[in-house]
Amino acid sequence: MNITVLGGGAWGTAIAISAARHHAPQSVCLWARNAKQIEALNIDAENKQYLPAIPLPDGLLLESDFQKALGCLGSDDVLVIATPMSGLSQILEHVLTQAKHPFNILYLCKGLEPHTALLPHQVLQRELAMHPTHRHAFGVLSGPSFAREVGEGLPCALTVASHQHEFCALVQRAFHHGNIRVYASDDLIGVELGGAVKNVLAIAAGIGDGLGLGLNARAALLTRGLAEMMRLVKAVGGKSETCMGLTGLGDLILTATGDLSRNRRVGLSLAAGQDLNQVLSALGHVAEGVLCANAVTDLAKRHHIEMPICTTVVEVLNGKLTVEQGVQVLMGREPKTES
């Protein structure tokens, strides 16, 4: 099996390293659009910019030529898209324009398309409809996974979701090995929405911790945030029980409490009084919760779902509320029955 990973960021590098450790290294290719980045990866034998101090396996193919990166894939092979959600549509356009035959497309991005509030699989369906020459099987790989720990070979568990059972089985063969367990699901909506909403909730958790609101407050926030996630997933057509698994509760716990979480760091910095633009500039990486927060609440409004925590995060990010005012808004809500 050949595997090509598109995206030389932290997560793309980590998944390529993991795959190369458990397959013949020459069967795994990592592509980045910047030829200078590929040159640096070859010289340094590590990704000093995004995943420093984790060596690249000997034999891992490094490529900046897009056609060559796609050229090693056959119909039974896997193309992994490891770009941020904001770049999914563009990279799919390149893939589907240049593909010579069908192959399996696995995407790792978490979030919603900013201006349409489309889920990743809906973006892919839209792009496939415009390029009907080949029928590509596709699905998402998601779950509680910091790129650094995956790159270091530490244990983790992930979920692959697809409407095609054969695709899930293929991805399990490709990525389920000693350090990674891969579970299968047919709930694309639940898995993808969980990955989007948890990032917004992680910003809220970071704000709470940064303000010193305590562990009781964090537990309440995550529990009520999970309820918001479940309501939205059910309304959009997913399974609410998916939110209790790896891609919902599992990823929420990790992202809201782990010190490697970029979204949590955004919340901590906002609580310290920093300007959002300065926070994002200092971060140096994409914080998907910031990019998709408005889309999450837009989707909730479209389905008449109340999401007070996510809505408050949006108002803080948009400068309509201070972090202190956001806490007051949430704590001042009328008493309700727990649901």
Active-site positions read 198
CA-CA distance, 315 to 163, in Å (whole number)? 36
Residue 47: CB atoms within 10 A of its CB come to 27
CA-CA distance, 79 to 136, in Å (whole number)? 10
Two tokens, residue 190: 């639940």
For residue 321, give the DSSP letter.
S
Residue with tokens 């490697």: 260
CA-CA distance, 35 to 106, in Å (whole number)? 24
Alpha carbon separation from 305 to 117, 122, 227, 293, 302 (Å, rounded): 15, 20, 11, 15, 8
CA-CA distance, 196 to 199, in Å (whole number)? 6
CA-CA distance, 102 to 285, in Å (whole number)? 32
